Amino acid sequence: MDKAPLTVAMIGVGMVAATHLRALRDARPALSLAGICARRPQTAAAFADRAETELGYRPVIYADSAAVAADPGIDIALILTPPDARLALIAPLARAGKAILLEKPLARNASEARAVVTLCEEMNIPLGVVFQHRVRAASQHAAALVNAGDLGALGLVEVTVPWWRKQAYYDEPGRGTYARDGGGVLISQAIHTIDLALSLTGPVTEVQAMTATTRFHEMEAEDFATAGLRFENGAIGSLVASTASFPGGAETITLHFERASLHLGEGVLTVHWRDGRKETHGATAGTGGGADPMAFTHEWHKGILEDFAAALRDGHPPMITGRQALESHLLIDAIALSAREGRTVSCGEVA
């Protein structure tokens, strides 16, 4: 007999909620969206209407996250809110034994992110993070190649995020601010590519960086960042990230090893072997780098949800744990510190 579906409460129904709704609809084995919670009752009601159309049943509406925590029928709290006040939101859910699946980022900075991770670890609560770029077929093939150990030593890393956002995107209250988002392009957009890159390269030990806000946006935080990177394994590299690169393009990760170079872009992995062979894996797909930030498939979010559900059922860690996600926060904080102080910064300074 099939087990009953795990039940999900969605907390926050902003821009990415519709993507998660489609992912929940298509997830196999099935997941049940038992309820939703939003700051404004009218927003929650409108999303419940949409959910009923998509799913064929209507989720209940919780007055607040405390009501989610008090419901013994909820297995997973899927948190889609902005990263401010994450610890206050997660603490009662963790105390109630709810597994936590967080939309990136963990929090506004590395210190807050570490507090979230520590809380869940101390309470033995599963904590997963939605870094859906890791689920792409090309990303998984790249990881398999790296883990196989046949590429030789890594020497050079090149990471680019040439995205575009209209000013209207930053006109939403709180967007691109330190109080709500924790920063700009690095923590809100490039963090996806940073996470994927670090999962393939290992940690960065040292950065020299510059950040700025271009004349194309009125916003508090940065819409441009560039950094030189030194990795723990001895490789060196660069990161360039922007939401001022009209009309916007796909992010890329290029890894130069002794025996081959791997290039990830637009959902495709291209492998150039030093002996002349060339391989391609994956399929071209939109990533939300242009004017429409939601121009991407929900299949990757479905993969994250299915992996997290399997981790709960089988008792193993999810694909992206909170502890793993901390690495991206440490690098972002190191870049920000280097840019502010105009010096080379060790990632250990923000650890």
CATH of the domain at 87: 3.40.50.720
- How many other C-beta atoms can be found within 10 angstroms of the C-beta atom of residue 180? 17
Beta bridge partners of 11: 37, 79
In a domain, 48, yes or no: yes
SS3 call for 14: coil
Specify the pLDDT at position 196.
98
The predicted model scores a pTM of 0.95
102 and 188, same domain (yes or no): no
292 and 341, same domain (yes or no): yes
Helices (H), 233-318: 299-314
In a domain, 220, yes or no: yes
DSSP strands (E only) in 12-49: 31-37
Of all helices (H) and strands (E), which one includes residue 285?
Answer: none
In a domain, 112, yes or no: yes
194 and 109, same domain (yes or no): no
User: 89, 105, 133 — which closes off a domain?
Assistant: 133
How many structural domains is the chain composed of? 2
| Radius of gyration in angstroms for the set of CA atoms belonging to the chain, rounded to a whole number | 20
Q: Which domain holds residue 42?
A: 6-133
In a domain, 1, yes or no: no
In a domain, 145, yes or no: yes
Q: Which two tokens stand for residue 3?
A: 């087990």
267 and 229, same domain (yes or no): yes
CATH of the domain at 187: 3.30.360.10
122 and 140, same domain (yes or no): no
Do the beta carbons of residue 170 and residue 220 sit within 8 Å?
no
128 and 173, same domain (yes or no): no
Specify the pLDDT at position 215.
98
121 and 164, same domain (yes or no): no
143 and 289, same domain (yes or no): yes
In a domain, 41, yes or no: yes
**Sequence-separated (6 or more) residues with CB below 8 Å from residue 325:** 104, 105, 106, 113, 117, 129, 131, 195
Specify the pLDDT at position 1.
38
341 and 219, same domain (yes or no): yes
Beta bridge partners of 206: 230, 346
Specify the pLDDT at position 108.
97
In a domain, 229, yes or no: yes
183 and 236, same domain (yes or no): yes
In a domain, 146, yes or no: yes
CA 103 to CA 114: how far, in whole Å?
Answer: 16
CA 335 to CA 307: how far, in whole Å?
Answer: 31
Specify the pLDDT at position 85.
84
Specify the pLDDT at position 2.
56
Are β-strands 278-282 and 154-162 bridged in parallel, bridged antiparallel, or unpaired?
unpaired
User: 133, 167, 182 — which closes off a domain?
Assistant: 133
User: 113, 133, 153 — which closes off a domain?
Assistant: 133
Number of residues in the chain:
351
Residue 102 identity (one-letter amino acid): L
156 and 240, same domain (yes or no): yes
Q: What is the secondary structure of 63-109 as a DSSP string?
A: SSHHHHHH-TT--EEEE-S-STTHHHHHHHHHHTT-EEEEESPSSSS
264 and 293, same domain (yes or no): yes
Q: Which two tokens stand for residue 251?
A: 């992010």
Beta bridge partners of 340: none
- Tens-of-pLDDT digits for all 351 residues of the chain? 357 899 999 999 998 999 999 999 999 999 999 999 999 999 999 999 999 999 999 999 999 999 999 999 999 999 999 999 898 999 999 999 999 999 999 999 999 999 999 999 999 999 999 999 999 999 999 999 999 999 999 999 999 999 999 999 999 999 999 999 999 999 999 999 999 999 999 999 999 999 999 999 999 999 999 999 999 999 999 999 999 999 999 999 999 999 999 999 999 999 999 999 999 999 887 677 666 665 678 999 999 999 999 999 999 999 999 999 999 999 999 999 999 999 999 999 997
